């Protein structure tokens, strides 16, 4: 955990009534999301070189001191016949009708979404 955020994690209680400065916590979350976004961008830029480096070693498993990297296949794809595609469309329609007439059994938890208002450089 970065030093600049350490005081927030130590001093805050999970009880909302004990939060001293909600704006500071929100701003800390925004700062962390910005850092995460920057890391994800760095990872995306490095990904092609990483894949090439793994391929050069020509093995299914790369064992290093800090990680084990294994080769996996992505999910397969099929071209379905028109009959199967019609059945999929029918199931989709039936599910939509069901959603309109029934309440969900789970998945309605409250969450907060952060939309970063930054320009990509």
In a domain, 120, yes or no: no
Can you give the residue range of the structural domain that contains 33? 3-72+80-101
Q: pTM of the predicted model, to two decimals?
A: 0.60
| Assigned domain for 116 exists | no
**Taking a C-beta distance cutoff of 8 angstroms, is the pair 61, 71 a contact?**
yes
Give the pairing type, strands 68-70 and 61-63: antiparallel
Note down pLDDT in tens along the chain; length 121 residues.
556 666 666 655 556 556 568 898 899 999 999 999 999 999 999 999 999 999 999 999 999 999 999 999 999 999 999 999 999 999 999 999 999 999 988 888 888 888 888 765 5
Q: How many domains does the chain have?
A: 1
Query: Does some domain include residue 109?
Result: no
């Amino acid at each position: 955990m970065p030093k600049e955020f350490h005081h927030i994690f130590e001093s805050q209680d999970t009880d909302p009534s004990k939060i001293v400065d909600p704006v500071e916590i929100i701003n800390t979350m925004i700062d962390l999301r910005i850092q995460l976004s920057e890391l994800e961008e760095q990872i995306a830029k490095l990904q092609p070189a990483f894949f090439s480096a793994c391929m050069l070693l020509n093995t299914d498993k790369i064992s290093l001191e800090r990680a084990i990297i294994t080769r996996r296949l992505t999910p397969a794809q099929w071209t379905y016949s028109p009959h199967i595609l019609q059945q999929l469309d029918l199931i989709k329609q039936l599910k939509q009708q069901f959603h309109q007439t029934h309440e969900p059994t789970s998945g309605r938890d409250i969450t907060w979404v952060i939309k970063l208002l930054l320009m990509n450089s």
